[in-house]
Chains A and B, each alone.
Chain A
């Protein structure tokens, strides 16, 4: 059973729809104790880092996430919250990944919105059958300025930024696989296969 963490920061419906299209059974959870019993956890997110971290602290989910040993996937803001700190609202995050979450400089149109390519820089089970240079759907104003060893995929928007990261059982993607057509579904399926 794949669990989606609902912490009132994001649109769970489209993720749930995508997983159901893949024939996966999904459970939406919001209590910390439910998280540890799942086979795999997806941590979506939209909105602002400050408000999201506040909600995670209020519910105690912030303490549980680092203890998870099952496969874990952060999406968009969910990826950014796995980093060290975020420039958005000067927020201290979950520190699974090393790195600071920064805003795109003003010379670039923000949000970075639309379909952009992902260059696969390291092998990861998450991208096993995905072609290098495939398009995924992005919508975000901040990016994780991460450590090279944890970066599995990069995307160019003015410069290269981390679009896929991994550390042990923790995976993260800056794009929305649930909105990224066939390739996105494939990536979600890869994740589910690990669970």
Chain B
């Protein structure tokens, strides 16, 4: 979570108001630029600046100072107060201001908001929602100009807003803590939420961080020394030590690990039990086993093999190939698999995924997304990459997340077996469109490829097959090659 120090400007001075009343102000400094520089020096990563005169007058009134701040510091600024028109927004966004804030009152019509979002992107256009006694003022949006929080949530969603600042006016400037419930409402509705109003202690920040706030704005508490910015930032930083995973994959046919290019031209690569054990010992983070023949006759031998491998390794073990019923999943888990990977069956009967996730839990269900570029889009292929479908790969990935899948294993049929590197475009697009972990597969040829996929996309794990089996890349070396958390 980002801690955002606030600079409120009135008559050119840096002030704080109590409960938003202009009559109740306290001057903290005559030089707002100096205050901004001080925050930057203390390690702030973004400044929240409000033109209070502008807010009162209905047009920006402290532009000069705001541009002076933008010139003086090199961290992003988000600016609010008095913004009413497209031109004003453009002036700020085109002159060194990173993000601008429209309040629900200021937005005379939702059409303006939609246009701004379209032209500048939802990351740069924030909407500030000021709540008083559970109500939000929305001039020009609804007939009575006042709506409930859940109504405003719907309105903002429909307009395409993704970033909001929520303030409970009754808490502002009192140093008695923010309205956590309000923040929670917006977070659950899927907004990147910045909490403001009453944020007054490290405890408050801790709590907001836990709720999943994207940021917290604090003014008075910093000016009055109740919050030390540096300590606050350290505490609220999104610490994440989750490591990127390296996953060797055993493609198994008739009891042997095989190697194929574009899912065809199969060659032998060794014994699955031996290879699985070796990979586990070398430090693989997980093992995937795919039964690529997946015929009914070999189910029994398959179970036997799965159970043999499971006994030899002490890392997570995912098994896929030919799974089409709840019973199949149960059998594989009983044989020692930790998770199952489902491909064709997920395309043909999405209900299976819903039922399986309910029955076994999402953590157990991996979806194999076999995609190939067609025009501008990617289409899903089934039956081991042999049959094209009309299903769009991105929509399919999102649908699987909704149904309860716990992870996506994304294969690029364009890159499979080519050793030309992962399909960055496909993987980035999918990783950006879902909020579950993604395993990158197909195309790995060098250690550099693994580093690149972790640096350039949001994938959580990367899979390789023959390069590991034939020892072209040593897993323990690879794991030292890239920073564990990127």
Contact = CB atoms under 8 A, between A and B. Distances in A.
A157 B315 contact: no
A160 B363 contact: no
Contacts of B307: 13
B475 to A, nearest CB: 13
A114 to B, nearest CB: 5
A137 B316 contact: yes
Nearest to B335: A13
Interface string A100-139: 0000111111111111110000000000000000010111
A99 interface: no
Interface string A145-189: 100000000011111100000000000000010111110110000
A111 B212 CA distance: 15
B314 A18 contact: yes
B294 to A, nearest CB: 21
A176 B316 CA distance: 9
Interface residues of A, number: 46
B317 A14 contact: yes
Nearest to B436: A109
Interface in A64-92: 77
Contacts of B244: 114
B190 interface: yes
Given A114-B243, A114-B245, A109 B364 contact: no
A111 B280 CA distance: 23
Contact of A105 (B210, B310, B333): B210
B86 interface: no
A115 B242 contact: yes
Interface string B182-224: 0000011010100000000000001001111110000000000
B187 A105 contact: yes
Interface stretch (B165-173, B225-233, B354-362, B389-397): B354-362
Contacts of B311: 17, 20-21
Nearest to B190: A106
Contact of B240 (A48, A137, A138, A156): A156
Q: Which among A14, A116, A185 has the highest number of chain B CB atoms within 10 Å?
A: A14
B40 interface: no
A127 to B, nearest CB: 17
Interface residues of B, number: 48
B291 interface: no
A112 B245 CA distance: 13
Given A109-B435, A137-B316, A13 B333 contact: yes
B285 interface: yes
A13 B437 contact: no
A47 interface: yes
Q: Which among A11, A17, A18, A21 has the highest number of chain B CB atoms within 10 Å?
A: A11
B315 to A, nearest CB: 6
B310 to A, nearest CB: 6
B460 interface: yes
Contact of B211 (A105, A111, A140): A105
A23 B360 CA distance: 29
A139 B314 contact: no
Given A109-B435, A115-B242, A47 B360 contact: yes
B443 interface: no
A42 to B, nearest CB: 16
A141 interface: yes
A151 B341 CA distance: 35
A11 B336 CA distance: 7
Contacts of A114: 242-245, 285, 437, 460-461
A182 B315 CA distance: 10
Given A46-B361, A116-B243, A139-B363, A159 B209 contact: yes
B437 A48 contact: no
B334 interface: yes
A181 B279 CA distance: 12
Contacts of B449: none
A46 B337 CA distance: 13
Interface in A38-76: 46-48
A158 B187 CA distance: 15
Contacts of A182: 314
Contact of B316 (A104, A106, A139): A139
B363 A113 contact: yes
Contacts of A181: 280, 314-315
A113 B406 contact: yes
B267 to A, nearest CB: 31
B192 to A, nearest CB: 7
A115 B245 contact: yes
Given A179-B315, A185-B314, 4 more contacts: A13-B336, A48-B358, A116-B243, A137-B316
List the 4 closest A-B pairs by CB distance, nearest first.
A105-B212, A156-B239, A47-B361, A13-B336
Interface of A: 11, 13-14, 17-18, 20-21, 46-48, 77, 104-117, 135, 137-141, 145, 155-160, 176, 178-182, 184-185
17 contacts: A11-B364, A13-B307, A13-B335, A106-B435, A107-B212, A111-B437, A113-B363, A114-B461, A115-B242, A115-B245, A116-B242, A116-B243, A139-B316, A140-B363, A155-B241, A158-B238, A158-B240
